[in-house]
Structure 1
Amino acid sequence: MKITAPKLSSSLMELNISEALLEDNFVSGGIVTSLHLDAEQEDKIMFDQIHFQNISMEGVRFHQVEFIDCLFEKCDLSNVDFGDAVFHRVEIRGSKLLGTNISQSRLTEVKIEDSVANYVNMSFSKLKKVAFKQVTLNRSDFIEATFDKVSLEKCELDGANFTETPLKGIDLSTNTYEQITVSLDQLTDCKVSTEQAIGFAKSLGLIIE
């Protein structure tokens, strides 16, 4: 699946987010290498064409934030509240999203790669053309999420919860887990390995010989 990369200028200048937010809630066109936001709620901010590099947002609470054409590289987004957010043409590489809340959000043309996202919450979110590649997603929540062209490749999914999330067309065969929670009536056309299929059969109470 081809994911459209963020449309970033090759000549971005370093940007001071704190100063930019004093003037407007629209921040555009720059590289951010340091960020000082406190844990108070930041309302209705739009980030457009921003390259976040080696920054920490840990514990920050956003409300209706939008990220358009943004790249997060080696960032710490742990315990950030992105609830009710919009992510469009966004890449997250080599980053931490431990306990990050991305519930009730919209993600379109998003790629998350080589990252740790245990306990991330994407419940009730709408994901369209979203790729997870080599992401640790143990104990993650995707409860009642909507998947449209979503791929999971070589991810760790132990304890992940997909309750009431349709997995039609999803390929789980390259991912590893000891146990995941799914709604069995939502597994139609989901691709799994032989070992994974045996695990699902056991969850139905079948005896495998």
Structure 2
Amino acid sequence: MIIGEKIKNIDFNKTQIGEEYEDCIFSNCDFSGMVLNNTNFEDCIFDSCNLSLTKIETSLRDVHFKECKMTGTNFTKLKSFSSLSFEKCNLEYATFMRAKLRNTKFTDTTLIEVDFSETDLTMSLLKNCDLSRALFSNTNLEKADLSTSYNFVIDPNNNKIKKAIFSKEGLIGLVLSFGIRILD
């Protein structure tokens, strides 16, 4: 177990990764294209790291991603997590299909074409996120806050949105699936 380390500028494609990290900060590290399946992270921060096309099949507990490139990252086999947050990350084309992400925080994060199919986002915060072409199908958004996010289309008949929070402008994204024309 590695505890309390500041790990900088490491390409983990060329270096063996440990099995457990606790209270560590990863800065400018490269995990791109890796399969993280035997490594657990607890109370860790990933700052300006590249996790593009990474498959995350491990446990994340109290993990914060800040300004990370995570294009195409696959979270579908995320084993378990608690308190997961993304701040100013690029998660374009990432997939969270069937992931249980209750209380997750996405802040100022690009979520273009992200797959949230069958994802549990109950009580999650999506603050100022671009959700262009993001896929919501059988997604649980109950009590989620999307009031400052934009460019989403969510079919209320195909998703759970009870007590979710949307802005007036965001309501357009809830009625587009009904084929309603909205004029200025």
Letter in 2 for 1:144: E
- Does the CA-based 8 Å contact 2:103-2:123 persist in structure 1? yes
Matched residue, 1:123 = 97
Assess, with a 3 A threshold, how the Cα gap between structure 1 residues 129 and 141 changes in structure 2: closer, same or farther.
same
Task: Using the TM superposition, give the Cα deviation of residue 72 of structure 1 relative to its aligned residue in structure 2, in angstroms.
Answer: 0.6
Which runs of structure 2 are paired with 1:53-68 in the superposition (5 Å)? Answer: 53-68=27-42
Match of 1:92 among 56, 65, 70: 65
Comparing 112-121 with 59-68, which one deviates more in the overlay? 59-68
Deviations 1:161-199 (CA, angstroms, capped at 9, x unpaired): 121111111122211115456753522222222233234
Alignment: residue pair count? 182
Which has the larger share of helix? 1
Matched, 1:103 2:76: yes
SS in 1 for 2:148: coil
Query: In the alignment, residue 86 of structure 1 is paired with which amino acid?
Result: S
Secondary structure at 2:172 match in 1: helix
User: Does 2:11 correspond to 1:29?
Assistant: no
Q: Give the aligned residue type for 1:168.
A: E
Report the TM-score, using the length of structure 1 for normalisation: 0.76
- Does the 8 Å contact 2:156/2:174 carry over to 1? no
- Once the two structures are TM-superposed, the CA of residue 52 in structure 1 deviates from its matched residue by 0.2
Structure 1: how far apart are the matches of 2:152 and 2:140? 20
Larger radius of gyration: 1
Query: Are residue 189 (structure 1) and residue 147 (structure 2) matched?
Result: no
- Paired residue secondary structure (1:107): strand
Write the distance in 1 (CA, Å) between the matches of 2:157 and 2:71. 25
Residue type of the alignment partner of 2:65: I
Taking the aligned partners of 2:152 and 2:117, their CA distance within structure 1 comes to 19
Tell whether the 8 Å contact from 1:143 to 1:162 is kept in structure 2 after alignment: yes
TM-score by length of structure 2 reads 0.86
Structure 1 unaligned blocks of 5 or more: 1-25
Map residues 162-181 of structure 1 onto 2, 5 A cutoff: 162-177=136-151, 179=153
Tell me if 1:136 matches 2:124.
no
CA distance in 2: counterparts of 1:145 and 1:178, whole angstroms: 16
Change (3 A) 1:183 1:30: farther
- Any stretches of 5+ residues in structure 2 without a counterpart? none
What amino acid sits opposite 2:2 in the alignment? Answer: V
The Cα shift of 1:107 comes to 2.8
Taking the TM superposition and a 5 Å limit, the aligned residue runs for 1:72-91 are: 72-83=46-57, 85-91=58-64
Match of 1:147 in 2: 121
Q: Percent identity at matched positions? A: 25
More strand by share: 1
What amino acid is the match of 1:78? Answer: S
What amino acid is aligned across from residue 74 of structure 2 in structure 1? N
The AA in structure 2 aligned to 1:88 is R
Asked if structure 2 preserves the Cα contact closer than 8 Å seen for 1:162 and 1:182, the reply is no
